Amino acid sequence: MSASKLHAAGVLQGGRWRWWEVVLWAAALASPWALSSHSLIINEIAILALFALSLDLILGYTGIVSLGHAAFFGMGAYAAALFSKLVMPDPLVGLMVGIACATVLGAICSVTILRGTDLTRLMVTLGVGLILMELANKLDWLTGGADGLQGVVMGPLLGRYEFDLQGQTAAWYSLTILLVLFILAKRFVNSPFGATLKAIRDNRLRAMAIGIPVSQRLSVVYTVAAGAAGAAGALLSQTTGFASLDLFEFHRSADVMLVLVIGGTGWLYGGVAGALVFKLMQDTISAITPQYWTFWIGLFLVVLVLVGRERLVRPWTWFGLGKSSNKGGKV
Amino acid sequence: MSAESNTVLSAQGLVMKFGGITATNNVTLNLHKGARHALIGPNGAGKTTLINLLTGVLQPTEGKIILEGQDITQLAPHQRVRRGMVRTFQINQLFDTLTPLETLAMVVSQHRGLGGKWWQALGARADVNARCEQLLEQFHLTSVMGQETRVLAYGKRRLLEIAIALACEPRVLLLDEPVAGVPAGEREELLQTVAALPADVSILLIEHDMDLVFSFAKRMTVLVNGTVLTEGDPDQIANDPQVKAVYLGHEVPQASTGAQHG
């Protein structure tokens, strides 16, 4: 009996770190140094990965579909940029302010996703995103309106590391914040709390019937995800020194969902893998054909969904397996 | 008065109207401590409506529900669960992407007030793991504890359905047709498990399978058209002419196959 007790504890250790994860993160943190001329895109990938990670918390783990996640991204970005412009230029304090503002907004908006079906929720999240964009547009005395918020100057990180033109400091900064929030997210989803979220995703009726306070859980995870999205937005405005209405745009909410679909929902690395593939494809293809890169992204998505992610990453299964069942990847 | 104080769950004069239709009409039902009470009746008698009223999915038009001396009529479903009343479902309601072990660890954690903890790992608490081990053993799920629930055989899923409810440590357990649709090969395991449920848990069984009802129940209530037709011990019910009439001549105690899905 004692042997099987150990077994149960072992089977439940979903939060353990595996060797390949350590290698992956070491490689990621070394990349701004090893590929210093590509620091700008590394920074962008880290930010997109964090944004997608935040969406995964609500979409992948809790089953809330959202097409308005850019609202929190934009909120974090503007809050951090305004803070550095009007109050003080310290990046970490600015990041905290960005996260705090997005979290508060998330808490307020969470009441809108508690009721209704997936479709009504999709519409509500979309609407909130549009409202926020229009607000940023109208409050032009504060936000700069359609011209964007110019003249955001960042102080040195920790008072020591200046943001350089090549973007190395920025890339390290974003990667570090991504790693910190990833570690927190990993604890979060592998905890009893995270398990109740998965239960709500799988079967809301039964989740209620075993005493899980479903509405409260949904509010909390939506708020947390909003805060993480705010962190991603803050990183973007801080490292680019600019915030514009484009941050609230619908395409940003849609892109981040694409990223998650590419990488896979519900395993945290989906956002990281998706951001890597999406950004590299965007970068490579748009260098070849600047006008039509979305065509190739679209084609890739169609192939991904029809063939399935599982088979796409295992080329040796492509041929001679006509009789095997058509196993699509979980999207 | 000794019977009164012994009552765990009491539904008093429940009425449920859907528009012009009265689905439940003045139903009074008392469940004693440690009861093995069966609720039977033909399809459309209002058994499911009564369960939904008791668990709080529906609000009664009239009447009261008392759980261990406290009026719970106004409480939300999850609050009733915390007070010790838990149900199972006629159609499995499981968490398909979780394994049985994860499912039970989640339920036990939630029930022990750890559901809000986010910094601990799910398998970090030895007492939770030990309880999961017990439940897996008790419900013959140890061999499949690491498989995703959606790939389990129907009988195992049915066992997990009840295990989830018992993991909530109920004082009152409402079993909604626990053996419905279970193939013959997996039936015995399930029947034994149901028979071996803890004696201190008061159980209300809703069932069409008369074999199970008569082997399990010490007391029975017959519901017809939303009203209590009669209540009594199994012998009384088996010999009640009214009950026989309702079941259209089925010899109630022996009607094991014919009435199973009737």
d(CA A210, CA A225): 25
Task: Single out the residue in B119, B142, B168 at which a domain terminates.
Answer: B168
Residues B49 and B178 in one domain: yes
Answer yes or no: do A4 and B87 touch at CB < 8 A: no
Mean pLDDT of the region A6-16:
63
Residues B21 and B117 in one domain: no
Q: Does A209 touch chain B (CB under 8 A)?
A: yes
Most A-contacting residue of B48, B58, B95 (CB-CB within 10 A), to test interface: B95
Q: What is the pLDDT of residues B144-192, one digit of tens each?
A: 998 899 999 988 999 999 999 999 999 999 999 888 888 888 888 888 8
How confident is the model at residue A200, as a pLDDT?
93
How confident is the model at residue A320, as a pLDDT?
59
Strand partners, B86: B173
Q: What range does the domain containing B53 cover? A: 1-84+170-262
b (16+ CB within 10 A) / e for A303-331: ebeeebbebbeeeeeeeeeeeeeeeeeee
Task: Single out the residue in B121, B146, B168 at which a domain terminates.
Answer: B168
pLDDT exceeds 60 at position A92? yes
Residues B59 and B98 in one domain: no
Structural domains in chain A, sorted by start: 19-288 (1.10.3470)
Residues B132 and B112 in one domain: yes
Cβ B73 vs Cβ B16: under 8 Å: no
| CATH classification of the domain holding B215 | 3.40.50.300
Q: Name the pTM for this structure.
A: 0.86
Residues B46 and B99 in one domain: no
- Arithmetic mean of pLDDT over chain B: 85
Cβ B55 vs Cβ B77: under 8 Å: yes
Answer yes or no: do B121 and A5 touch at CB < 8 A: no
d(CA A258, CA A252): 10
Q: Which of A285, A281, A261, A282 is nearest to A271 (CA)?
A: A261
Residues B80 and B175 in one domain: yes
pLDDT band at A10 (very low <50, low <70, confident <90, very high): low
Residues B259 and B179 in one domain: yes
Residues B237 and B187 in one domain: yes
Q: What is the pLDDT of residues B196-236, one digit of tens each?
A: 899 999 999 998 888 888 888 999 999 888 888 888 888 88
Four-CA torsion B146, B149, B151, B157, nearest 10 degrees: 120
Classify A181 as helix, strand or coil.
Answer: helix
pLDDT exceeds 50 at position A1? no
Residues B44 and B174 in one domain: yes
Q: Does A304 touch chain B (CB under 8 A)?
A: no
The H or E element containing residue B176 is strand B172-176
pLDDT exceeds 50 at position A174? yes
Q: Which of A34, A23, A43 is nearest to A283 (CA)?
A: A43
Residues B54 and B24 in one domain: yes
Classify B174 as helix, strand or coil.
Answer: strand
Residues B68 and B32 in one domain: yes
Domain count, chain B: 2
pLDDT band at A300 (very low <50, low <70, confident <90, very high): confident
d(CA A69, CA A253): 5
Task: Single out the residue in B152, B168, B184 at which a domain terminates.
Answer: B168
Cβ A97 vs Cβ A105: under 8 Å: no
Answer yes or no: do A187 and B101 touch at CB < 8 A: no
A293 Cβ partners below 8 Å, 6+ apart? Answer: A281, A282, A285, A286
Residues B56 and B126 in one domain: no
pLDDT exceeds 80 at position A318? no
Mean pLDDT of the region A170-190:
94
Which amino acid type is present at position A74?
G
